[in-house]
Amino acid sequence: MDIEGVSPATVLTIISEIGPKGFDKFPTAKHFTSWMIIAPNNKISGGKILIPF
């Protein structure tokens, strides 16, 4: 529980969503963060970050 900003309740929520063996579904940490929608948006055009909305 040494990850700053991650409480035990957050960990339990993630585990309840993906299941105890759910991390095996993701080949890399990048795939997992993308699924969680916490990966940064790197779409840039003309030096500006494009917002998907």
pLDDT in tens, 20-43: 788 888 898 888 877 877 766 677
> Considering the chain, what percentage of its residues have pLDDT values greater than 90?
2
Give me Rg for the CA atoms of the chain: 15
Task: Supply 8's token pair.
Answer: 């035990």
What's the confidence (pLDDT) of residue 22?
A: 83
Task: Supply 14's token pair.
Answer: 């993630």
Region 40-50: what's the mean pLDDT?
A: 77
Hey, what amino acid is at 43? Answer: K
Return the ∠ at Cα 40 (arms to 29 and 15), rounded to 5°: 40
What's the confidence (pLDDT) of residue 53?
A: 59
Q: CB-based contacts of 12: which residues, under 8 Å, 6+ apart?
A: none
